Amino acid sequence: MSRIGSISRGALGVLLAVLASWALAQGTAKTKVSSETDLPRFLYQIPGTASDFVDGDEAAFDAFTVRVRGDLDHVLSDYDIADKATQRELLGARLDAQEIVGDYKGGLETIEQLRGLQEKPSAKLLFGLQAKARLEAALETGATSGDAYVAAFKRHYKEAIDPLPWDVVQDSVKEAYRGARIGSKAAALGQVKTMVDPPLAKSGSLDNLQAWQLLGARNYLTRSLPLQSARVEVLKSYIDAHNVVKPDIWAAREVTLTADQKLTPVLVAIWDSGIDVSLFPGQVFNDPKPTASGNHGLAWDDEGHPSKSWTHPLTAAQTQAYPAFRDDIKGGVDLQNGVDSPEAQALQKKMATFTPEQMRQRGEFALALGHYVHGTHCAGIAVRGNPAARLVVARFNDDLPYLNFAPTTVWAKRMKANFHTLSLYFNSRHVRVVNMSWGDEVAEFEQWLSRTVPSLTAEERKKRASELFSIWREAVEGAIKNSPGTLFITAAGNSDSDASFIEDVPSSLHEPNLITVGAVNQAGDETSFTSSGETVLVHANGYHVESFVPGGARLPLSGTSMASPNVVNLAAKLFALDPSLTPQRVIELIRAGATASDDGRRHLIDEKASVALLKNGTH
């Protein structure tokens, strides 16, 4: 049975030293932070692998936790950070640190700070309830294990969950229930093996983001996982008492075009991971002037050289794993919706019996296969209900942090030249609308460097990443600027961040022929993951949206990646009805047809309203 406030003598000494340094710094003015790149970076040395360390010696991990917490508190006290998402990320890592070393009263104070920073209705109600119940139970019982502690947690958690309004929190509660049913020690360690061990092995150190991942994993393993059964019981009871599904608003807003409407063919490019063109007979562009890739568009391999494959190539092992990957997606959605399907049962068994190494292999397959299905899924959404749409492939690999070579200026400039070629292609073939369900920021280049370039200091890595990102930003922005007759539509991002603060490209860009899209669910409520910001002008369904994946199966996927092609779908229909429209006019019609939520945070697209505005010649 653990004691309240248990912390090793060595870790306590480090904490006292950190507190002394804070006291000396209190009189200094705070550093203003206008973007994510203004924040400092840190590196941490740990023994062995991250997966062994996170599951290992308590005293060693406590000492590491105190070092990381010292840097977190330094940033929080010495930097003026207006961005709430960044504050939430920093405070969330501090909360993990506080619980790990037994600072439960401090953790409760941090939870209140975090709750005050929540902006979405569901998050305002739900955030921190599980952690708060754990901390309250620990303070009440003087323990972090045993029957009395579990009973106290369950009582506090149930008292917090039961009064919540179902219509506001149902999606988040169901997601929590699914996670609690399939979570396991092997899954947590497998994720560390997949995401943290490889860059640590290469560079010999953890950056601050990886260190925060370890804090979260340690807290999950030692504090959250032992309470999983109690949590499942509370959530199931709440769901069973309230399980009414919100109505779907989107079918009533959708327009389905037919060939007898004398539509003009519209070229719709999916700038993404590729398309299984065999799934869209009669709706794929056949170029009379083929490129080096063929007659459906342009494709490049990971290093930016021309490719003749319209989908991302898979290895033999990835091809073999693909059917199970599809079943896991369906099983996860079924678990969330309370459907006891064979796929749901298989997923639960897999998560309960796999070893950490099997979970690592599964995680690596998921990274590759998620990329593989992405473009095809977006394509199916983009052309739904529009016989005039013709798909154009613009394939590249945007999973930058996981490419298996080091990023160089030569590579970045090669991709910049490729994107310029792509813009020329859009112009010469009269591509009217382009879907860009992807985005990149400096932090991704830093993560990529951590995996491939050893021995860089934190600041050297940040500087190198900024140089590469600058070329990348110019490449993406240049392609949009150089195609003024083409409408580009992009996803806001899934990090619940301000796209402008993290400088996500393209979602942070301001261009007259670009529109950024946030995600809502079937009822039009904001998803927990969608990013926001001044560039996010409209919202569309991005939650469990069904579409094709390579091979012909249909799966429900969630993300702003799914919301963006829903807006592409509307734009392509407007162009099909009136080919004289400009990108700016289409943006006007989309925005004018959208309905604003009472709080002004969401602007939900409405195909029927926008088409009616076009036909009536209004706005």
Query: pLDDT tens digits for 81-139?
Result: 999 999 999 999 999 999 999 999 999 999 999 999 999 999 999 999 999 999 999 99
Residue 325 confidence class, pLDDT cut points 50, 70, 90: very high
Average pLDDT, the chain: 93
For the chain, which residues make up each domain, given as ranges?
Answer: 9-242, 251-616
C-alpha 583/C-alpha 130 separation (Å) is: 47
Other Cβ atoms less than 10 A from the Cβ of 51: the count is 23
Residue 618 confidence class, pLDDT cut points 50, 70, 90: low
The encoded tokens of residue 512 equal 């007259």
Phi, psi of 302 (to 5 degrees): -60, -35
Identify whether the C-beta of residue 133 lies closer than 8 Å to the C-beta of residue 153: yes
Measured in whole angstroms, the distance separating CA 237 from the mean position of its chain's CA atoms is: 29
Identify whether the C-beta of residue 70 lies closer than 8 Å to the C-beta of residue 14: yes
**pLDDT tens digits, one per residue of 403-415:** 999 999 999 999 9
Other Cβ atoms less than 10 A from the Cβ of 327: the count is 19
- The whole-number pLDDT of residue 454 equals 83
Q: H or E stretch including 334? A: helix 316-336
The amino acid at 92: G
Strand order of the sheet with strand 536-541? 297-299, 389-395, 266-272, 433-436, 487-491, 514-520, 536-541, 603-604, 595-596
Going by C-alpha positions, the residue among 235, 252, 254, 253 that lies closest to residue 243 is 235
C-alpha 56/C-alpha 54 separation (Å) is: 6
Residues 6+ apart with CB under 8 A from 22: 73, 74, 77
Inform me whether the pLDDT recorded for 516 exceeds 60. yes
Other Cβ atoms less than 10 A from the Cβ of 102: the count is 19
**pLDDT tens digits, one per residue of 4-63:** 333 333 443 444 444 444 444 445 689 999 999 999 999 999 999 999 999 999 999 999
The encoded tokens of residue 618 equal 């209004």
- The whole-number pLDDT of residue 28 equals 64
Percentage above 90 pLDDT, the chain? 90
Query: How many CA atoms lie less than 13 Å away from 144 in the CB half-sphere?
Result: 21
The encoded tokens of residue 6 equal 């248990």
Inform me whether the pLDDT recorded for 356 exceeds 80. yes
The encoded tokens of residue 502 equal 């993290």
- The whole-number pLDDT of residue 337 equals 83
Residues 6+ apart with CB under 8 A from 582: 485
Percentage above 70 pLDDT, the chain? 95
| Secondary structure (3-state) at 158 | helix
C-alpha 299/C-alpha 308 separation (Å) is: 7
Identify whether the C-beta of residue 502 lies closer than 8 Å to the C-beta of residue 89: no
User: For tokens 């009616």, what's the residue?
Assistant: 612
Beta pairing partners, 541: 520
Identify whether the C-beta of residue 224 lies closer than 8 Å to the C-beta of residue 82: no
Phi, psi of 424 (to 5 degrees): -65, -40
C-alpha 465/C-alpha 447 separation (Å) is: 9
C-alpha 591/C-alpha 365 separation (Å) is: 39
The amino acid at 269: A
- The whole-number pLDDT of residue 6 equals 35
Dihedral angle sign, alpha carbons of residues 588, 592, 597, 603: negative
The encoded tokens of residue 565 equal 């092609």
Q: H or E stretch including 379? A: helix 356-383
Over residues 426-434, mean pLDDT: 98
Going by C-alpha positions, the residue among 108, 121, 117 that lies closest to residue 168 is 121
- The whole-number pLDDT of residue 243 equals 87
Residues 6+ apart with CB under 8 A from 325: 365, 366, 369
C-alpha 223/C-alpha 145 separation (Å) is: 9
- The whole-number pLDDT of residue 181 equals 93
**pLDDT tens digits, one per residue of 134-182:** 999 999 999 999 999 999 999 999 999 999 999 999 999 999 999 999 9
**pLDDT tens digits, one per residue of 435-461:** 999 999 999 999 999 999 988 899 999
Residues 6+ apart with CB under 8 A from 41: 207, 208, 446, 458, 459, 461, 462
Identify whether the C-beta of residue 509 lies closer than 8 Å to the C-beta of residue 491: no
Identify whether the C-beta of residue 90 lies closer than 8 Å to the C-beta of residue 68: no
Inform me whether the pLDDT recorded for 1 exceeds 70. no
- The whole-number pLDDT of residue 299 equals 98
Inform me whether the pLDDT recorded for 2 exceeds 70. no
**pLDDT tens digits, one per residue of 557-574:** 999 999 999 999 999 999
Over residues 498-506, mean pLDDT: 93
Residue 233 confidence class, pLDDT cut points 50, 70, 90: very high
Measured in whole angstroms, the distance separating CA 239 from the mean position of its chain's CA atoms is: 26
Identify whether the C-beta of residue 513 lies closer than 8 Å to the C-beta of residue 584: yes
Inform me whether the pLDDT recorded for 368 exceeds 90. yes
CATH of domain 251-616: 3.40.50.200
C-alpha 419/C-alpha 276 separation (Å) is: 22
Beta pairing partners, 488: 434, 514
Going by C-alpha positions, the residue among 526, 492, 485 that lies closest to residue 509 is 492
What does R_g of the chain's alpha carbons equal in angstroms? 25
Higher pLDDT, 157 or 501: 157
Q: What is the DSSP letter of 523?
A: T
Other Cβ atoms less than 10 A from the Cβ of 290: the count is 11
Measured in whole angstroms, the distance separating CA 210 from the mean position of its chain's CA atoms is: 16
End-to-end CA gap in the chain = 68
Dihedral angle sign, alpha carbons of residues 272, 503, 499, 65: positive
Identify whether the C-beta of residue 57 lies closer than 8 Å to the C-beta of residue 83: no
Identify whether the C-beta of residue 310 lies closer than 8 Å to the C-beta of residue 550: no
- The whole-number pLDDT of residue 216 equals 98
- The whole-number pLDDT of residue 190 equals 96
C-alpha 543/C-alpha 552 separation (Å) is: 20
The amino acid at 278: S
Inform me whether the pLDDT recorded for 430 exceeds 70. yes
Residues 6+ apart with CB under 8 A from 98: 69, 104, 106, 107, 110
